[in-house]
Structure formats: C-alpha cells, structure tokens
Amino acid sequence: MVAQRSVIEIGLLLYPGVQTAALHGLTDLFTVAERIAGEQAGARLPGLRISHWAAEPGDEPRRVFDTHPEWPDDSDGRLAAVLVPPSLFGLPEATPVHHLTQWLAARHGAGAIIGSVCIGGLLVAEAGLLDGRSATAHWSGAEAFARRFPKVRLEPHKPIVDDGDLITSAGLMAWSEVGLRVVDRLLGPSIASRTARFLVVEHSDSAQHCGSNFAPLLGHGDAAILKVQHWLQANGAVDVSLPAMAAQAGLEERTFLRRFRAATGLKPTEYCQHLRVGKARELLEFTNGTVDRIAFSVGYLDPGTFRSTFRKITGMAPSDYRKRFGARQVEVAARG
C-alpha cells in the first residue's frame, strides 16, 4: 500500500519527566489519522510515520521508536512536525537541555511545524523559537515563564495559540487538540474531523466552520523561502514589501517571486493576506477591539480593503465572524 504513497513523519520528543500518557496518546491519535487517511483517500494522501526521539545528556536526539519501520525512509531525515509533550512535574532544574533545544531549532529551520503541550513549551522557548512570537503557557507557571523569556508575547488566557509554524497550548490535557491541528495541517481538515469523531474528542478550531485557518506549506525544501516565511510569521506580515521579502531571502525580486510561488503555491501578496486575516480572526475571537482598530493592527490602512479581504478568505464579514465565534458569545452559549 505505502509503496504507492509518499511518506511524511511526525516526531515526538522524549525528555526526562515526559508524560507518557500524552506521548502514547499522540502516537495513537496520529495512528488513527493515518488509518482514516488510507481508507478515505488511498494514495492521494501521504502515509504517516510516527516516531519517538530521545537523547542521552549531551547527545543529539535519535529515533528510538517508529510505527512503520518497514516503510522506506526517503525523507533525508526531515520531519514534517515535531511535538513536545507535557510533563507532570516540570523540567528538573538540573536537566541539560541544550542538545534538545538545538535539535528543535534545527528541525524548525528545516521546515518542521513545532507544537508543544503545557510545560513542553519551555523547551520551545529555550530554543529561541518563540522570541517575538505569540505563545501560551499553563496559568500556574505563566509569571515564571514571562520572567524567564521576556521576548515571548505570552498570552496565558488563551488555551491554545496557533501561530502557523508554531503551536503552543496551556493545558496538560491539550495534547489531543494540538495533535488534531497537526493532522489538519498535514492531511487536511476532513481527516482531522474524522479522527476527532472516531476518538470522541472535541476539535475546537473555529476555522472548521468557515474555511480552514491558513496552514502554510513549510516542507518544500527551499531554505531561502522558508527563511522569509518564518520572518513573515514572526512579524505578522505587517509593513512588509516585495523588496524587503526578497532581501530577506537574499534573492533578486523576479527570482524571489518565482521561487516563492513554486514553494508555497501563493503569490507573496496572497500569502501575506492570509497571515493578516488569520491574526485578525484571533483578535476578533479574543479581544473587544473595533473592526477598524483590528484592521490597522494587522496591517491594513484602509478598513474597507480589510473587510473585503476578510470576507474573500473566510466567507464572512468581520462583524459576523465575531458574533459567531467571539469568546463572549461562546461563553454565553455554554452557560445557556
């Protein structure tokens, strides 16, 4: 069967104190998603290999478990995603993590989506990947997290922060939602929904009701374009230009345009629109800012242009989106 399908790999990082329930739960979740994808789409979707990675102190992590060792490995060591499960007790103070964080940073630099659950976000922050980025953390350790990593835009009131190439979650039991977000990225929203339904767990991504959240392609192998994608993700694609993007890539503008579209499937302007609208959706859901203020904060000087772009991408006006998915409306519905 897999001989006719491409193979993508998700790595789960083991470290001292890792919660084994989350580790094996994620393995099972991805295994279910792989089976459903094979049944529903056959060779149209890739096979999903799930691996566990562990390291002796000072050594780089190596694969210690593989759900499909019989499958050919032609990935050149690339991982489509790496998840850091939680710990029940936090990271021991004396635990050396430099070898783990270097490995995480290298995997992210090679195009892997990085996801973390609860205290696992500490390793992602320690790797420097969250500097200048939005993230969340468990409420009990939020103050300590903020002191330790002042460059991170910490939002502990949010249960999950999905920032495209980086996904962080606050709750110890949030591993199922993080896993489903990764399934959505790699196998599509219908496989994620079917996986959630099979496991009888909720999949809370509001995007499933009005089109998918933007899931940028990161595994294309073009390092120059990937560098620009990470840069855009970090600054929200606000106040950027074609010359600035080309400069980030170290390419002439025409070459950059050609390679960017070949790698991502989108023109740079379209890509930036998706990033901005994704941020706007988050602000509409979790803040009370006016639509015009939100438009300005995500990079639109003309609110009319923002409204038109938002409707084009989501199928809804910003005000209607807030009425349907805003946190206050969700809370009222839950009480009712």
Domain of 157: which CATH number?
A: 3.40.50.880
- Whether this prediction's pTM lies above 0.75 is answered by no
Overall number of domains in the chain: 2
Q: By three-state DSSP, how is residue 63 classified?
A: strand
- Which pair of tokens denotes residue 62? 């190596």
Please indicate, yes or no, whether residues 260 and 194 belong to a single structural domain of this protein: no
Please indicate, yes or no, whether residues 23 and 168 belong to a single structural domain of this protein: yes
| Strand order, beta sheet including 62-66 | 62-66, 47-54, 7-13, 81-84, 113-117, 166-169, 160-162
Question: 36 — alpha (psi -120 to 50), left (phi > 0) or beta?
Answer: alpha
317 — pLDDT class (breaks 50, 70, 90) = very high
- Nearest one of 122, 115, 183, 168 to 148, comparing CA atoms: 122
- Which pair of tokens denotes residue 288? 């009370």
Domain range enclosing 276: 223-325
Please indicate, yes or no, whether residues 128 and 74 belong to a single structural domain of this protein: yes
Question: What distance, in Å, lies between the first and last C-alpha atoms of the chain?
Answer: 49
pLDDT above 90 as % of the chain: 56
Looking at the domain assignment, is residue 139 inside a domain? yes
Give the integer Cα–Cα distance in Å for 109 and 126: 15
Please indicate, yes or no, whether residues 38 and 179 belong to a single structural domain of this protein: yes
The reported pLDDT for the residue numbered 215 is 73
CATH of the domain at 243: 1.10.10.60
The reported pLDDT for the residue numbered 1 is 47
The reported pLDDT for the residue numbered 334 is 32
| Mean pLDDT of the region 93-120 | 89
Taking only the tens place, the pLDDT of each residue in 246-303 is 999 999 999 999 999 999 989 999 999 999 998 898 788 778 899 999 999 999 999 9
Alpha carbon of 229 to those of 127, 182, 184, 261: distances in Å?
18, 18, 19, 12
Give the integer Cα–Cα distance in Å for 92 and 128: 19
